[in-house]
Chains A and B, each alone.
Chain A
Amino acid sequence: MGLSTTGTRSFAAKKELKKTIAGYCFISPWLIGFLFFTMLPILTSAYYSMTSYDILDDPVFIGFGNFTSMMSDELFWKSIKVTFTYVFFSVPLRLAFALFVAVLLNQKARFLRFHQTLYYLPSILGGSIAVAVMWRRLFMADGAFNAILEIFGLNRGISWIGREDTALMTLVVLAVWQFGSSMLIFLAGLKQIPQSYYEAARIDGARRDQMFFKITIPYLSSVIFFNLIMQLIAGFTVFTQAFVVSGGSGDPLNSTLVYALYLYQRAFKYYQMGYASAMAWVLVLIIGTFTIVLFKSQGKWVFYESKGGK
């Protein structure tokens, strides 16, 4: 008897193994792609970050040289400052705006699909050249924005896109305008909140703002958390918008030189692949820190129904 049970067991194990192999075979196209086109470049970039590498010559190992020279690189700190400013303004504003529109659309709006598509459109247009041209036309000295100000007698002929102190804000406005994907996620989250809570609150005589802050926000906190993390990562790695609006230069006076754009310039304009790789790893560190801190903090403010509200 003992023998026969181990026989069945090993037969079962064999079958299990076969299944596993088949499984890996099926996902192998993805797996190979991941290993060779994602994992390998990540590992090589870790190596290159320790080298001086201009592609034409072989990489020269310089230890932490790239990281130390980064510390005294004015433009590196400038790009950090620009990126943090961008994230600080664009992420909360975009989330607030997305939530605002989602709440509006959740009020049994007519033509809901139509509105959803309409508000999602800017996100699809993304960093296209058409958007870049439009943004310049909007915010140049003789642009549409000044024409609107003119109506209220406020036009001072400012070139919003050409001034050091206003150019980044035009990018923030662009980011807020592209609120569609966060909005859709918020909308889905709002639909999950049981209507009975609102009914109960209404019977108890709760005001609208009370319902929003006591029911909607707590129930939505996990969705807010998700959106916050996604938008934070997107904010720190922003590239396309800054690239197309400033023509790849970070103009004016590097006031739109976001981190990823500076990294790109180092890599593909100056061919300093080692320095650029090192910058990429610093960015990983920054984003990693923010994500970890957020995850640690979620116990304090994120509400999961499945955990019984804990």
Chain B
Amino acid sequence: MKKALLLSVLLIAVVFTSWATGAQDGGGDGTTELRIAWWGNPTRDERTLAVIDMYQEVNPDVIIEPETVGWGGYWDRINTQVAAGSLPDVMQHDYAYLLQFASRKQVADMTPFVDSGIINLDGVDETYLSGGRVDGKLYGISLGTNAVAMVYDPGMLKAAGVAEPTLDWTMDDFAAAARQVFASTGVQTVPFFTTDPKVGFENWIRQTGYPMFDPSGKSIGFKNISELEAFFALQVQLIAEGVMIPAEESFVTLSPQEGFLAQGGSWVDFIWSNQFVSTQDAVDRPLKMTLVPAIANGDRPGTYLKPSMFFSIPEVSEEKEEAAKFVDFFLNDPDANMVLLGERGVPITPEVREIVKANVPGAMQQIFDFISLVGNGYASPIDPPDPAASGEFLKMFRDVTMETLMGIVTPAEGAAKVESQGNSILSR
């Protein structure tokens, strides 16, 4: 019996000591340990890890511990780390959440590092930085720029005898083209942004000068509900004519390879510009990208340049200066960016942008050209980040869009529903 007791005590001792030693490693011998976290995909992980290796080679006294997971798991993990007070030293951030983190002082103001020259932002246009600012303080530095786009198959348009979209295309031109493509080839058209229809309507309503959300975040930002009705009505009409793919089919969540554009069921799709490479990879015909069609009565462009993601330095980091040095390397080092190749979006520093553009494949170059185009007069300033309740709002918006496009409610009823339910979700 004594033996059994001794054995079990030993067993526990082993378990506990292994926990304890596992918990405390690193530090102490003049080296700095940095934890860097991002959400990603296999390509991004591979390239980011390579850049981390390059940085450690130049800075042998820095040991970097990478933390990478997919988008969904990333925020579960980050939120747990917030609760535990153990955020990493550098974290990838998103426009949707940066405001919440900044207003709760979870991330640090990076202005001092920019002023002292540790992070070099010379020549970077303010339009690329403003997305990371809250009350004039810089809480995130954009790693790339994004904008909404329409991708289309020029071959299909040619086969249907339809001219390619021009920069002044309106929704009427779009509808006419869709009808002609359908009439002469039988190829249909997908509805606007089926994974997140709010993106499509946001582009529409911003052209009338109003934001999607009120700056207070407590109500919707537009008063002209008839515009939402028109947004629904255009699609309902095209579906009724057989030109547009019914919502029962087009709103089923599909991978790019399964999608209607890839399978030849549609001549067009609506995406964020950084998705162009993966979209092109999934489609074996050459694609082109251009602006989302404008509404006839618009006052300004609805498109805006959005920071695709940021690097932020959490307030809990004890190595903020070392973290800032890494961010600078990531942004400005030519060799590092030859590895990254704009995978996170079009780089913000002009020199890096030029170097990378000259070395990327055709699909990527189209993204660079598109972002430059948008930046030259086809964008209006970005709105404040979405309010905290936007997740629920987006779901409601998508549900009502589906209801309307399926003909369960009329466009007018759908628009009224978004207004009443939207305000009740946001005001909570």
Q: Are A57 and B104 in contact (CB under 8 A)?
A: yes
List residues 60-97 of chain B with CB under 8 A from any CB of chain A: 72, 75-76, 79-80, 82-83
List residues 31-65 of chain A with CB under 8 A from any CB of chain B: 54-57
Which of A21-29, A87-95, A286-294 is the contact stretch?
Answer: A21-29
B398 to chain A minimum Cβ distance, whole angstroms, is 8
List residues 208-252 of chain A with CB under 8 A from any CB of chain B: 246-247, 249, 251-252
Q: Are A26 and B253 in contact (CB under 8 A)?
A: no
| A136 in complex: contacting residue of B8, B254, B389, CB < 8 Å | B254
Which chain A residues border B20 with CB–CB below 8 Å? none
| B391 in complex: contacting residue of A141, A251, A269, CB < 8 Å | A269
The reply to whether the CB of B106 lies closer than 8 angstroms to some CB of chain A is yes
Q: Are B106 and A22 in contact (CB under 8 A)?
A: no
Q: Is the interface of B mostly helix, strand, loop or mixed?
A: helix
Q: Are B403 and A253 in contact (CB under 8 A)?
A: yes
Q: Are B248 and A162 in contact (CB under 8 A)?
A: yes
| A161 in complex: contacting residue of B1, B252, B395, CB < 8 Å | B252
**Beta-carbon nearest neighbor of A266 in chain B:** B392
The reply to whether the CB of B159 lies closer than 8 angstroms to some CB of chain A is no
Q: Are A140 and B249 in contact (CB under 8 A)?
A: yes
Q: Are B79 and A25 in contact (CB under 8 A)?
A: no
Q: Are B83 and A55 in contact (CB under 8 A)?
A: yes
| B79 in complex: contacting residue of A28, A159, A163, A271, CB < 8 Å | A271
Complex alpha-carbon distance, A133 and B90, angstroms:
36
Number of interface residues of A (CB under 8 A): 34
Complex alpha-carbon distance, A29 and B408, angstroms:
56
Q: Are B8 and A15 in contact (CB under 8 A)?
A: no
The reply to whether the CB of A115 lies closer than 8 angstroms to some CB of chain B is no
Contact (A141, B258) CB under 8 Å given A29-B15, A56-B79: no
A267 to chain B minimum Cβ distance, whole angstroms, is 9
The reply to whether the CB of B275 lies closer than 8 angstroms to some CB of chain A is no
Which chain A residues border B80 with CB–CB below 8 Å? 55
**Beta-carbon nearest neighbor of B425 in chain A:** A270
Which chain A residues border B100 with CB–CB below 8 Å? 56
List residues 250-272 of chain A with CB under 8 A from any CB of chain B: 251-254, 265, 268-271
B87 to chain A minimum Cβ distance, whole angstroms, is 11
Complex alpha-carbon distance, A133 and B253, angstroms:
10
The reply to whether the CB of B358 lies closer than 8 angstroms to some CB of chain A is no
Contact (A254, B248) CB under 8 Å given A18-B1, A56-B82, A136-B258: no
List residues 1-41 of chain B with CB under 8 A from any CB of chain A: 1-2, 4-5, 8-9, 11-12, 15
The reply to whether the CB of A19 lies closer than 8 angstroms to some CB of chain B is yes
Complex alpha-carbon distance, A162 and B258, angstroms:
15
Q: Are B8 and A28 in contact (CB under 8 A)?
A: yes
| A56 in complex: contacting residue of B2, B101, B249, B398, CB < 8 Å | B101
Q: Are A162 and B249 in contact (CB under 8 A)?
A: yes
Which chain A residues border B252 with CB–CB below 8 Å? 136, 140, 159, 161-162, 251-252
A161 to chain B minimum Cβ distance, whole angstroms, is 6
| A26 in complex: contacting residue of B8, B72, B104, CB < 8 Å | B8
Contact (A164, B106) CB under 8 Å given A21-B5, A268-B72: no
Which chain B residues border A133 with CB–CB below 8 Å? 255, 258
**Beta-carbon nearest neighbor of B79 in chain A:** A55
Which chain B residues border A164 with CB–CB below 8 Å? 406, 408
| A22 in complex: contacting residue of B4, B246, B258, B388, CB < 8 Å | B4
Q: Beyond A22-B4, A136-B254, A162-B252, list 6 extra A-B contacts (CB 8 Å).
A: A18-B1, A18-B5, A133-B255, A133-B258, A252-B406, A254-B399
26 A-B pairs whose Cβ atoms sit less than 8 Å apart in the complex: A15-B1, A18-B1, A21-B5, A22-B5, A25-B9, A26-B4, A28-B8, A28-B12, A55-B80, A55-B82, A56-B100, A133-B255, A136-B258, A141-B249, A159-B252, A161-B252, A162-B252, A164-B408, A246-B253, A247-B253, A249-B253, A252-B248, A253-B399, A253-B408, A269-B391, A271-B391
The list of the 3 closest CB pairs from A to B, nearest first, reads A247-B253, A25-B8, A162-B248
- A→B interface (CB under 8 Å): 15, 18-19, 21-22, 25-26, 28-29, 54-57, 133, 136, 140-141, 159, 161-164, 246-247, 249, 251-254, 265, 268-271
